[in-house]
């Protein structure tokens, strides 16, 4: 399998397509019009060097908060698509960058993540971001499968 085939598979995956859709929906001024998908998702990629350059203590701005919300909203959309039940994303982050991300299906909590150092939110690559989302999606769908009566409430 060549790198081009891997990249093509990555960019055609449901999660990456949904992330692009979510990011473009935040663009009320049309800034992303004409941009390739790679450029739209580029802010999610932080190398180890870039992450080290960001101070340990810092307050997240609205742009970073929007990225965090986009990541979990895209995940909620895929959970809803796969399970056929409405998934709701709830995110609470303090001004210092600490908080929690929850995704619920009915009365069932399927994703419960503690968020720390949100001002440093990012992934080493789009592939790593998709891998993280796939792990969360797999766990969430298995929880929905285990407790369908609670998820259906």
Confidence band for 14, pLDDT divided at 50, 70 and 90: very high
Considering only CA atoms, which of 138, 134, 139 is closest in space to residue 123?
134
In this structure, what token pair is assigned to residue 67? Answer: 């990225």
**So what's the pLDDT on residue 4?**
45
What is the domain-level CATH number for residue 16?
1.10.3100.20
**So what's the pLDDT on residue 19?**
96
**So what's the pLDDT on residue 139?**
97
Cα–Cα distance, 100 to 111 (Å, whole number):
10
Q: Total domain count for the chain?
A: 1
Expressed as residue numbers, the domain containing 138 is: 3-151
Longest dimension (CA), the chain: 47
| Burial category of 54 from C-beta neighbours within 10 Å (exposed 0-12, middle 13-18, buried 19 and up) | middle
Distance of CA 102 to the CA centre of its chain: 12
3-state class of 60 per DSSP?
Answer: coil
Asked whether residue 51 carries a pLDDT value surpassing 90, the answer given is no
Percent of the chain topping pLDDT 70: 95
DSSP code of residue 43: G
| Burial category of 37 from C-beta neighbours within 10 Å (exposed 0-12, middle 13-18, buried 19 and up) | middle
């Amino acid at each position: 399998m060549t790198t081009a085939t891997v990249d093509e598979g990555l960019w055609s995956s449901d999660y990456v397509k949904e992330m692009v859709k979510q990011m473009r929906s935040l663009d009320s001024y049309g800034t992303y019009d004409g941009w390739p998908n790679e450029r739209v998702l580029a802010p999610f990629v932080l190398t180890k060097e870039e992450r080290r350059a960001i101070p340990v203590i810092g307050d997240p701005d609205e742009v970073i908060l929007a990225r965090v919300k986009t990541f979990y909203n895209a995940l909620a959309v895929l959970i809803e698509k796969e399970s056929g039940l409405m998934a709701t994303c709830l995110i609470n982050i303090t001004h210092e960058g600490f908080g929690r991300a929850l995704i619920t299906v009915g009365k069932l909590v399927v994703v419960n993540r503690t968020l720390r150092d949100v001002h440093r939110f990012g992934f080493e690559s789009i592939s790593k971001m998709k891998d993280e989302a796939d792990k969360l999606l797999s766990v969430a769908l298995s929880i929905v499968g285990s407790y369908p009566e609670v998820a259906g409430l």
